[in-house]
Structure 1
Amino acid sequence: MRETNKVFHLAIPCKDLDETVDFYEKLGCKLARRYDDRVTFDFFGDQVVCHLSPDNIDDEPKMYPRHYGVTFLDKDEYNQALEFAISKDLPFFGKPMVRFKNRKEEHLTFFLIDPANNLLEFKYYHDNSMVY
């Protein structure tokens, strides 16, 4: 069980620090630190570090096997995030969709793509027992 004294940490590649900061700040993430080779964000309460690594960018990103994001426990918060992404004209990777329709694990989801082709998934399960 997660406790409030723990923060998840994720490190990902980026190709340009300025465009990375612009994207994540538009998304609503707070820039915590910036160095010559990386930037660190408060990503919805967790830590995402984007390391300058232009030679490690996926040319043709796919949803699977690699992406990360936020699972909302409240449908209104999911809908607000979707509307926010649309209003900020953030780049979507495909259209918002329903996954596993009519199954217990059915969920709403949308993907964004950052400037380094990292995919971010935002989702909401109708049945919260399916979150884990």
Structure 2
Amino acid sequence: MSLSPFHLAIPVDDLALARAFYNDVFGLEEGRSSEQWVDFNFFGHQLVIHEQPKTPGQANAHSNPVDGHDVPVPHFGVILAWEDWEALAERLKARDIQFVIEPYVRFKGEVGEQATMFLLDPCGNALEFKAFKGMGQVFAK
């Protein structure tokens, strides 16, 4: 299966703060921008932050139980190679990032075993970063 880059535009209520977060915390390369939005290379995908007032979803986060944790809904993220996920987890811990769900391995020993972690950007958007030992596990039942 070949993958195509996705495009995702998300709301941020403080463009400067969100821009600094995605630049500094993840070291993302910026693309085009204006006074209201900024493009980022989000691990090979196009992420655009658009300034707008805080949405009800950001102000009143919802969650669903998964593997004993409260997973924020909505959320987005990326699947990384296992080693890249481990390196990112260490980078985030070293920066004292507050996690919604600390880095751990979910469904250990089961089909779909995966490393995962959740955090919020400064505007309340939930991000998940995950990894599988083999990409064949991504959609395994």
Q: How far apart in 1 are the matches of 2:54 and 2:80?
A: 33
Following the alignment from structure 2 to structure 1, what is the Cα–Cα distance between the partners of residues 44 and 8?
A: 12
Q: State, as a whole percentage, how many aligned pairs show the same letter.
A: 35
- How far apart are residue 64 of structure 1 and its match? 4.3
Bigger RCO (CA 8 Å, 6+ sep): 1
CA distance in 1, matches of 2:9, 2:98: 21
TM-score using structure 1 length: 0.86
Give me the CA root mean square deviation: 1.8
Q: Distance in 2 between matches of 1:60 and 1:42?
A: 28
The answer to whether the Cα contact below 8 Å between 2:12 and 2:54 also exists between their aligned partners in 1 is: no
**Structure 2 unaligned blocks of 5 or more:** 64-70
Q: Distance in 2 between matches of 1:55 and 1:78?
A: 29
Structure 1 unmatched runs, 5+:
none
Distance 1:91 1:14 in 2: 18
Aligned length: 129
8 Å CA contact 1:78–1:123 kept in 2: the answer is yes
Q: Pick the structure with more strand per residue.
A: 2
| Residue 68 (structure 1) aligns with | 76
Aligned counterpart for 2:16 among listed residues 6, 15, 18: 18
Please name the residue that 2:35 is paired with: 36
Provide the TM-score with structure 2 as the length reference: 0.81
